[in-house]
A and B are shown apart, each in its own frame.
Chain A
Amino acid sequence: MELIWQGIFKAVELVFGGDSEVWAITWLSLKISATATLISLLLGIPLGILLALSRFPGRAIAVALVNTGMGLPPVVVGLFISILLWRSGPLGFLELIYTPSAMIIAQVVIAFPIVAGLTMASFQSLDPNLALQLLGIGASKLQALWLLCKEARLPLLAAVMAGFGGVISEVGASMMVGGNIRAQTRVLTTATVLETSKGNFDIAIALGLILLALCFALNFLLTHIQQRGQMRWPRLS
């Protein structure tokens, strides 16, 4: 228990004492994961909507792939992407290994199926006639799509939070494709692993707490948007 208190004090010291390295690591974590999440949203939400609303040959396989992708172990993703990006690999000429871009790629692979799968589920929970009704009062296809997204706002934002949460807290892929290089690819999670292995438990806990605080702040904001005007369940006696 004492270790946790030490961690808390260390966290306060590092953050408010203006330790530039900790700030840099935090900033990099945020940049990489936010970018990866954004790309995942751009790819995953349209795919999820497509899978939910349309029927095409091979749809069943696509859905199964997406659902499998939701449970991909990050370290396996990291390993496969490393193999591709290593100099000895087919994409070695891109010279992306051990760069933040490689970490973004790995995180997109992790987050995109989560976003697609949850978006698909959220649209499938809508009344299938709703889209028709919206078109029936004069909505264009784009307007109807936008209204459906707003209607499915609750599970959609859950998809965003799940996607972001999944990548900002993962360490396996970031470690493998990023290399945890100081000032280049060291993020909160990989730094925590490093400090733990060095035995600096107070710093490790501090970094962990900073990560939790970051996640909490972001999710608080998104949850606020999500839960606005939501139905409260009646008290069950």
Chain B
Amino acid sequence: MAEALLALRDIRVQHGATTALEVSSFDVHAGEVVAVIGPNGAGKSTLLRVMGLLQQPGSGSVYFRGEQATPKNSLEMRRCMASVFQEPLLLNGTVYANAALGLKLRGLPGDQIHKKLWPWLARLGIAHLTSRQVRTLSGGEAQRTSLARGLVLDPDLILLDEPFSALDAPTREALLLDLREILAETRITTVMVTHDLQEAAALGERIGVLSQGKLLQLASQREIFTRPVSEGVAAIVGMETRIPGVIEQTAHGITTVRFNGGTARVRADFPPGAKVTLCIRPEDIDVNHYLGERNCPKEKICIRGNVLRISPSIAHYRIAIQAEFGCVTALASKSSFTELSLREGDDVSASFRLAAVHVI
């Protein structure tokens, strides 16, 4: 395994009495894009600041290219990185002056700056704004300037702290797509912190889950979204339906779990009698009017319940169903919803394939 570009070891950051961040190990490999998700207050910004050598942890070390970061070499190391924050944080002046700032700080002469900067301004679509004063920019334009400022430095590592959260939806989508392309082209090592799962899914090859200062899981995107290691992670990654159950028996690698709505045969490695939780993503749950127990297809598990709440969204409906043991959340496309014409209180059956179940 290639040596990590950036490695955190035994990091601990205290804010008074509370522990803001506690990470024993976090490796970022060259060329990869890591997204870190978690609720507000999880310590994501603190993590990014520690990685960017902008904040010294109470204890622990940061290693960049295998070398430990110390106050002596931190400026040198910082100059191999670039940080972009939620707010553009531009200085009074023109777009060009702001985007060129990082290069100027490193002492590059004007013509070299121009040569390096111009392609990036074009790439981010702000080349026509170079002589505009930053206070006249829109949110998206300002954030693009901030990104240009970071990207032009050709950093070994770029750290993004919720760079899209201050933007409106269409601007966010456009910028997200642009950034995705840029990262794919340049293969700059990226760590991005966000509370938005869509952003993390769009950009992150690996995803880390942070909650209350602790790194709960760090794995590939697929792992994170389909096989969270704990209920806490499951809640964060959007596995909204969580059914408590008990292992009945294990035979030939297939385990039977008993839960309140019946039994299920899943692939899991737990001893009989163990208390487990079945987790299913809302996208994997279908809803239909209840037509009797026997109408459940063979490969699927069906659960009966009442429609509790219908929440419309842009392209689908989120349906909360009250079952005996708790809540099941399903996602229905607009077309199927209209076909079924569901209403709150309706007697329905939520069904999902066994393969979609993750047991923890």
Do any beta carbons of A and B sit within 8 angstroms of each other in the complex?
A: yes
Which residues of A approach B to under 8 Å, CB–CB? Answer: 127, 129-130, 132-133, 135-140, 143, 147, 150-151, 153, 229, 231
Asked if A135 and B105 make an inter-chain contact with CB atoms under 8 angstroms apart, the answer reads no
Which residues of B approach A to under 8 Å, CB–CB? Answer: 49, 52, 54, 75, 78-79, 81-85, 87, 89, 91-92, 101-102, 105-106, 133, 135, 149-150, 153, 159
Asked if A133 and B105 make an inter-chain contact with CB atoms under 8 angstroms apart, the answer reads no
- The 8 Å CB contact of A137, one of B75, B92, B135, B153, is B153
Q: Knowing A133-B83, A133-B89, A151-B92 are in contact, say whether A139-B105 is a contact too (CB < 8 A).
A: yes
B contacts with A: majority SS: mixed
Residues of B within 8 A of A127 (CB): 87, 89
A contacts with B: majority SS: helix
Residues of B within 8 A of A143 (CB): 105
Q: Whole-angstrom distance between the alpha carbons of A132 and B89 in the complex?
A: 10
Q: Whole-angstrom distance between the alpha carbons of A139 and B81 in the complex?
A: 11
Residues of B within 8 A of A147 (CB): 91, 101
CB proximity of A172 to chain B, nearest CB, Å? 39
Nearest 10 A-B pairs (CB), nearest first? A136-B83, A137-B102, A133-B89, A138-B79, A139-B105, A130-B89, A132-B54, A151-B91, A140-B75, A138-B105
Asked if B49 and A132 make an inter-chain contact with CB atoms under 8 angstroms apart, the answer reads yes
Q: Knowing A129-B87, A129-B89 are in contact, say whether A138-B82 is a contact too (CB < 8 A).
A: yes
Residues of B within 8 A of A151 (CB): 91-92
Residue of A nearest to B94 (CB): A229
Chain A to chain B contacts (Cβ below 8 Å), 12 pairs? A127-B89, A129-B87, A133-B85, A135-B54, A136-B52, A136-B54, A136-B84, A136-B85, A137-B101, A137-B105, A138-B102, A140-B105
CB proximity of B351 to chain A, nearest CB, Å? 48
Residue of A nearest to B78 (CB): A138
Residue of A nearest to B92 (CB): A151
Q: Whole-angstrom distance between the alpha carbons of A129 and B79 in the complex?
A: 18
- The 8 Å CB contact of B150, one of A130, A132, A137, A139, is A137
Residue of A nearest to B82 (CB): A137
Residues of B within 8 A of A229 (CB): 92, 133
Beyond A138-B102, A140-B105, 20 additional contacts (C-beta under 8 Å) are A127-B87, A129-B85, A132-B83, A133-B89, A135-B78, A136-B81, A136-B83, A136-B85, A136-B159, A137-B82, A137-B83, A137-B149, A137-B153, A138-B79, A138-B82, A138-B105, A138-B106, A140-B75, A151-B91, A229-B92
Q: Whole-angstrom distance between the alpha carbons of A158 and B5 in the complex?
A: 47
Q: Whole-angstrom distance between the alpha carbons of A231 and B82 in the complex?
A: 29
Residue of B nearest to A148 (CB): B91
- The 8 Å CB contact of A136, one of B78, B91, B133, is B78
